[in-house]
A and B are shown apart, each in its own frame.
Chain A
Amino acid sequence: MAEPSTRQPRGLPPGTAAPDFRLRSTPDQWVSLSEVLGNPTILAFYPADWSPVCSDQMALYQQVMPMFQEHGATLFGISVDSAWCHQAFREHRNIRFPLLADFHPKGSAAEAYNVYRDDEGVSERALFVLRPDGVIHWSYVSPIGVNPGADGILRALEDLEQSKVAS
């Protein structure tokens, strides 16, 4: 079997400072990571809007949102889809948290987090939990076809809370 021609991105590891980005959250609004830090932040990179219903990762996160909020965490979904595409997707699936458009230059945020798939032009299914100071506390790259669920994020948020108490 031939080796894949492109390197396999693995995602930035825990302990790394999360690269800043400025991306559209709606057709006329922008989000800068540096401006929203101060609480635990979850970044969920995913390949594309409009994956099959009922196993959709972003719809699941909407449902689980109260459990994230118990930890004071803010969640952003990020894909290379445009802000207009995100807007239609959010309305269709009743998603109320922001989906960021890593659209232009395409995939630049995914690239910075080392989760861009050059050959396919989409990001990995990758999760990052950031500490309030913007350092990556936990990261995970899922097989691209497998929705990783929410349990890993919740464990990381709990772990983050415990490390805060301990220090």
Chain B
Amino acid sequence: MSMSAWESTLVLPVSPERDHIRGPVDAPVTLVEYGDYECPFCAMAHPVVETVRAQLGDQLRFVFRHFPLTTMHPHAQAAAEAAECAGAQGAYWPYHDLLFENQRRLALPDLLARALALGLDGEQFEGELLGHMHLGKVQEDFLSGVRSGVNGTPTFFIEGRRYDGAPDVPSLLAAVQRVLPRVAR
């Protein structure tokens, strides 16, 4: 068998039905991040992604999928599920931003306080979080990441191919711009 060479590619296609998408749903380029809300490198990558999004405008759609590294980060799983609870009330992205902007506070009361700060229904949020209503979604994200060659957090995929470059604005922007001529309509 000739399995000694392979390229890590996204095995679960991006779908508006299951994924959280930031930017136009039909943008020519798709950037997917597998990340962990308790990972300091993901928090550092958060403003990088936002800057790249601002520079590319409608040419880019950004997708965040969960890859909680629970052996290292005790709050990562609950934070991922909490983001999905916020998503159930239509506030996934504002909640996602709040998690990365204050990453040191991720205990359960902090997760609930953020939901209240966004004006969400606290009772519903807490019920879904404690009942692990979104555990399956987070696990599906994680497994799809493993199968796609996610090798730590954050791991990015540009148009389905794993990006192994540095997670800084010039490198990531250049990598996205390299595929633009190929996909531009």
Interface residues of chain A, those whose CB is within 8 Å of chain B, are 13-14, 52-57, 59-60, 62-64, 67, 93-95, 138-140, 146-152, 154-156, 159
B152 in complex: contacting residue of A13, A56, A93, A152, CB < 8 Å = A56
User: Is the pair B39, A54 in contact by a Cβ cutoff of 8 Å?
Assistant: yes
Looking at chain A's contact residues, the main secondary structure is mixed
A146 to B40, CA, bound (A): 19
CB distance from B66 to the nearest CB of A (A): 13
What count of chain B residues pass the 8 Å CB interface test? 25
**Provided the pairs A54-B36, A55-B152, A152-B6 are in contact, do residues A146 and B164 lie with their beta carbons within 8 angstroms?**
yes
Binds A, one of B50-58, B122-130, B141-149: B141-149
Q: A154, B147: Cβ atoms under 8 Å?
A: yes
- List 10 A-B pairs, Cβ < 8 Å: A54-B153, A55-B153, A59-B72, A63-B69, A64-B146, A67-B143, A148-B149, A149-B146, A151-B148, A156-B3
Task: Give 11 new A-B contacts, CB below 8 A, not counting A138-B4, A156-B3.
Answer: A13-B4, A53-B41, A54-B41, A60-B69, A62-B71, A94-B71, A138-B3, A146-B164, A148-B151, A151-B147, A151-B149
